[in-house]
């Protein structure tokens, strides 16, 4: 009887293999990647990440599953959404900036986390760029160096404007270091910096009112998810108050801002896909070096200049990678 059962079981398995209906092996399991965004569904750079996956041979819904969670601008929701992804048994969490990585790591210290931007050193997410040492790796943007460059461009473009307002988000990880180094750079350039803290979207309107009272002459935006989520609002207010501004990414200029200098964020998202690929193939975040931006661009919007009533000098325009006319 036992021999008959064994023979029957073998026959069933053999037929299943021939017909292609055998149970999937563990190695054939489709990987599940959690996508954790602080913003909403209208993510401008998500397509760059998906394109990066496609370039590596992944097709959403076929050999990789993407599970999306959106905080809709509410930072306090990130940890709960990360916990949902853990319960959904994702293999990796991909998130935006340090703020998302910190929220995800509060939930899991073992699941691989890939961040698309941020500074893992100032936030304690990594021991070093070369050897992160934990479960977080990805792309880093060192904001202080870029802020100094933006101030230099602002000074060169409008040398007579000496009072500069700086919007910064107190809740952003490493923000105090960023504003301190910005203030030091402003002193070197003989600029009087007026730091204005924003912790919510409502604070943005109040900040511009304060700029008017202080008679600020220009504006610089320090890198933060809050500023990016409210980029159009900030740009529109700058135009309304006729304040020439320099912004952290091209998104602001494409929405009507005057100037932007910074990394190509879409390229960082595309490169994040390579981390997903390496981790799925067996690499660990602890040993995957955190990479920095390789592509930067400087954009000037002459339509905005006309609306504000300023002239961008030729020696600055000639250095722009793109000029919107």
Q: What's the pLDDT tens digit per position in 289-322?
A: 999 998 899 999 999 999 999 999 999 999 999 9
> Does a structural domain hold residue 103?
yes
Distance of alpha carbon 217 from alpha carbon 163, whole angstroms:
5
What average pLDDT does this structure show over 205-218?
Answer: 97
> Does a structural domain hold residue 1?
no
Q: Which domain holds residue 183?
A: 143-263+297-324
Distance of alpha carbon 16 from alpha carbon 21, whole angstroms:
5
DSSP string, 238-255: HHHTT--EEESSHHHHHT
Q: Are residues 182 and 317 in the same domain?
A: yes
Distance of alpha carbon 128 from alpha carbon 286, whole angstroms:
10
Report percent pLDDT > 70 for the chain. Answer: 90
Q: Are residues 308 and 197 in the same domain?
A: yes
Average pLDDT, the chain: 89
Q: Are residues 205 and 277 in the same domain?
A: no
Output the furthest CA–CA distance in the chain (Å, rounded).
98
Report how many domains make up the chain: 2
What average pLDDT does this structure show over 124-152?
Answer: 89
pLDDT band for position 180 (cuts 50, 70, 90)? confident
Residue 92 DSSP label:
E
φ, ψ of residue 129 in degrees (nearest 5): -70, -35
Cβ pair 269, 202 in contact under 8 A = no
Q: Are residues 87 and 134 in the same domain?
A: yes
Q: Are residues 269 and 308 in the same domain?
A: no
pLDDT at site 148? 87
Planar angle of CA 223, 100, 257, nearest 5 degrees: 25
Q: Where are the beta strands (DSSP E) in the chain?
A: 32-37, 65-70, 92-95, 113-115, 136-138, 163-168, 192-197, 218-221, 245-247, 259-263, 296-301, 322-324
Report percent pLDDT > 90 for the chain. Answer: 73
Beta bridge partners of residue 95, listed in sequence order: 36, 115
Distance of alpha carbon 162 from alpha carbon 3, whole angstroms:
92
Q: Are residues 72 and 165 in the same domain?
A: no
pLDDT at site 173? 64
pLDDT band for position 225 (cuts 50, 70, 90)? confident
* Residue 67: strand, helix, or coil: strand
Residue 247 is part of a domain; what is its CATH number? Answer: 3.40.50.2300
Give me the residue label for tokens 């933060």.
Answer: 224
* Residue 156: strand, helix, or coil: helix
| pTM for the predicted model, two decimal places | 0.83
pLDDT band for position 246 (cuts 50, 70, 90)? very high
Q: What's the pLDDT tens digit per position in 37-74?
A: 998 888 888 999 999 999 999 999 999 999 999 999 88
């Amino acid at each position: 009887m036992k021999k008959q059962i064994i023979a029957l079981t073998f026959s069933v398995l053999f037929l299943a293999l021939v017909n292609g209906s055998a149970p999937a092996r563990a190695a054939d399991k489709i990987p599940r990647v959690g996508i954790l965004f602080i913003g909403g569904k209208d993510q401008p750079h998500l397509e760059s990440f998906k394109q990066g996956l496609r370039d590596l041979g992944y097709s959403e819904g076929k050999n990789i599953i993407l599970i999306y969670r959106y905080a809709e601008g509410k930072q306090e929701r990130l940890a709960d959404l990360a916990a949902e992804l853990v319960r959904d048994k994702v293999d990796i969490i991909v998130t935006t900036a340090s703020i998302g990585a910190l929220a995800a790591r509060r939930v899991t210290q073992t699941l691989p986390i890939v961040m698309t931007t941020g500074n893992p050193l100032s936030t304690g997410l990594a021991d070093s760029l070369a050897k992160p040492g934990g479960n977080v790796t990805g792309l880093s943007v060192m904001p202080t160096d870029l802020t100094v460059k933006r101030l230099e461009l602002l000074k060169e473009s409008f040398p007579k404007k000496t009072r500069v307002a700086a919007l910064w988000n107190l809740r952003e990880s490493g923000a105090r270091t960023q504003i301190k180094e910005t203030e030091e750079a402003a002193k070197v350039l003989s600029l009087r910096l007026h730091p204005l803290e924003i912790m919510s979207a409502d604070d943005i309107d109040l900040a511009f009112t304060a700029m008017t009272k202080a008679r600020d002459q220009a504006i610089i935006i320090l890198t933060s998810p809050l500023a990016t989520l409210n980029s159009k609002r900030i740009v529109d207010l700058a135009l309304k108050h006729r304040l020439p501004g320099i912004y952290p990414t091209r998104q602001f200029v494409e929405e009507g801002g005057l100037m932007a200098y910074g990394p190509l964020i879409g390229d960082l998202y595309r490169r994040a896909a390579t981390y997903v690929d390496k981790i799925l193939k067996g690499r660990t975040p602890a040993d995957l070096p955190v990479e920095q931006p390789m592509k930067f661009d400087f954009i000037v919007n002459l339509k905005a200049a006309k609306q504000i009533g300023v002239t961008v000098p030729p020696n600055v325009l000639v250095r722009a990678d793109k000029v919107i006319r």
